[in-house]
Amino acid sequence: MRGGIFLLVLGCFLLMAPLQGLFAGESSSTKKPLEKSFPNSEKCKRCHLRVFEEWEASAQSRSIVTAPFRVTLDQFLASTDKKDHAMCFRCHAPHIIEYADHLTRFIKEVQSKDPQMDGVGCPQCHLIQDVDMNSHPPMPTFQLGTTIFGGYDKAAENLAHQSQKLDLYRESKFCVTCHDSLPKISGSAKDLPGWLGPWEKTKSETNGKPCQSCHMPEAVDESANGEKVRKVANHSFPGRFGKVRAEAVTLDFTTETTPETSHVQVNIQSLVPHNLPLPHPGWSRVVVDLSIFGKNLKKVYNEQRFYERTFGDAEEKETIFDFEAKKVLRDTLLKPEERRVEVFTFPTPQDAPSMDVVVTLTYAPLHGPEDFLKKVEQEAALGQKDKAFQSVQIAQKKLNVPLKK
């Protein structure tokens, strides 16, 4: 038994030895190279394989990789002052806060289409020691040293880094550092509403269900190779993608028919403590689709309604780029925990014994000016098959309704 323990300790030592120095403390007079303070998440994979694989499949891992971000960044850089060029990285690669003098490198990494640095990786989250909720968006404070912060206590001792539990990692204020609002730059509109809505007053938040309860659901597993089995958080961050979206709303409807006209009343109850969808990026949209099928299942009627925030630029022209926004032209977002009723009226299908009513909620695919969509298609390795161009179903209900003769 003792021999087995010795071999386990020796194995851990040999495994962790290459990581020595990755999180070494810095002197008071010099700052470590960026890749030493914020090492690539591949380094963490050696001990945190499960977490790494979940993160690798997440949207966060692609924060500076996607074609829509790359095209939008180019548009932003071309239309704003150089002193504001770090704005997008404030959330898409938040270590820019500590390494603002490396901005040119950050930009080149994105434009390379194959960045060698992570945008939102392990250290970009787990080196956050505090969050200032008095700034908008809230500002994280990084501690660059030998300690990795997280939501677990009694971490196993290891040679890679020290570990410290912080309650912050189980609180919504940790997440709102990047999901609250667009960072202000010169010329920014001062009165644009935030992305989340009044989340702090929702039932979920006041009943002790922070963002992590849905977007980092717990399961019983190891937090690191060889760690004790316990409840650990999922790091795929399900939302638009992932099963959690099916729990975002309840969907129901009733019908009323006459020989000439039919009505469908759709009842949508939001179950989430934030706007749906979050209005960033500016093309975010949820579609409520009503489709009516008559004789031989032929579609005889279709109508769509959009839940979105539409921005206007300095000339009050519609824009999908919220960094150009000076005002809100329209706001039909589903508000936190809101119940909304949509009524559709249409001609009753003729020569059919019944009609099929199908109501579907989806996250809409990318939309915007034709030149923007074309650039994204050209930049995306899969072209029109890229995820950005695909709709994602949230909920659907179908009903066959007999028709009166």
234 or 222, greater pLDDT: 234
pLDDT at residue 17 above 50?
A: no
pLDDT digits (tens, 9 = 90+) for 175-190: 999 999 999 999 899 8
First to last CA, the chain: 82
Q: Residue 155: its pLDDT value, please?
A: 81
Q: What are phi and psi of 351, to 5 degrees?
A: 55, 35
CA distance 201 to 347: 42
Weakest mean pLDDT among 107-111, 150-154, 233-237, 250-254: 150-154
CA distance 200 to 285: 23
Q: Residue 31: its pLDDT value, please?
A: 81
- Per-residue confidence band for 110, with pLDDT thresholds at 50, 70 and 90: very high
**DSSP at 27:** P
Helices (H) and strands (E) counted in the chain, each on its own, are: 12, 16
Highest mean pLDDT among 4-18, 121-135, 236-250: 121-135
Q: Residue 12: its pLDDT value, please?
A: 42
pLDDT at residue 29 above 80?
A: no
- What would the mean pLDDT of 322-336 be, rounded to a whole number? 97
Q: What percent of the chain has pLDDT over 70?
A: 92
- Per-residue confidence band for 310, with pLDDT thresholds at 50, 70 and 90: very high
Give residue for tokens 């099928």.
293
- What would the mean pLDDT of 258-263 be, rounded to a whole number? 96
- C-alpha closest to that of 24 among 161, 165, 130: 161
How many other β-carbons are positioned within 10 Å of the β-carbon of residue 208?
8
**DSSP at 128:** E
| Average pLDDT across the chain, whole number | 91
309: number of CA atoms within 13 Å, CB side? 24
Contacts of 238 (CB under 8 A, 6+ apart): 214, 215, 217, 244, 245
- Per-residue confidence band for 30, with pLDDT thresholds at 50, 70 and 90: low
Q: Residue 160: its pLDDT value, please?
A: 86
Locate the domains of the chain by residue range: 17-22+30-195, 243-402
pLDDT digits (tens, 9 = 90+) for 370-392: 999 999 999 999 999 999 999 99
With contact defined as beta carbons under 8 Å apart, do 32 and 99 qualify?
no
> Which is it for strands 218-221 and 162-165: parallel, antiparallel or unpaired?
unpaired
pLDDT at residue 11 above 70?
A: no
183: number of CA atoms within 13 Å, CB side? 17
CA distance 317 to 182: 20
Cis peptide before 39 (omega within 30 of 0): no
Q: Residue 149: its pLDDT value, please?
A: 96
CATH topology of domain 243-402: Immunoglobulin-like (2.60.40)
